[in-house]
Structure 1
Amino acid sequence: MGLTATGIAIAAVLSVFAVAVWRARQPWQPGRIWRVPWHAVMALALVLLLGLLAHLASLLTGRPMTPRGLG
């Protein structure tokens, strides 16, 4: 994945995170049967964002990031 695709993916994940924050802050409406677990969506978006930011850092520096425990 190149620099442009990584930037687009980061923007998409940030927009999903922003929508999840907005929807999680809305009050609960009694009588609704099913709700999307917005806090879980936020957590997943944060994990994806951290991975994409690590990928962006490896693209900008030219050195792949390796885990400490596996090296």
Structure 2
Amino acid sequence: MDLTATGAALAGVATILAVAVWRVRQPWRPGRLWRIPWNAVMALALVALMGLLAHLVSLLTGQPIEPRALR
């Protein structure tokens, strides 16, 4: 992925995270049968956001980020 695609993906994941945070803060209405697990969506979006931020840093610095276990 180049810098443009990474920025677009980062914006998309940040939008999903913002919607999930907004939906988690809304009160639950009793009687609803099906509900999207917004806490899980928020957790997955945070993991994706951290990965994309690490990828963005590696693109900007020119050095790949290596996990400690693989050194």
CA distance, structure 1, for counterparts of residue 3 and residue 32 of structure 2: 42
CA distance, structure 1, for counterparts of residue 67 and residue 48 of structure 2: 17
TM-score, normalised to structure 2, is 0.97
CA distance, structure 2, for counterparts of residue 10 and residue 55 of structure 1: 10
**Structure 2 residues not aligned, in runs of 5+:** none
CA distance, structure 2, for counterparts of residue 69 and residue 42 of structure 1: 27
- Where in structure 1 do 4 or more consecutive aligned residues deviate above 2 Å? none
Q: How does 1:1-20 map to 2 (within 5 A)?
A: 1-20=1-20
TM-score, normalised to structure 1, is 0.97
CA distance, structure 2, for counterparts of residue 21 and residue 3 of structure 1: 27
- Greater helix percent: which structure? 2
Question: What is the count of residue pairs matched by the alignment?
Answer: 71
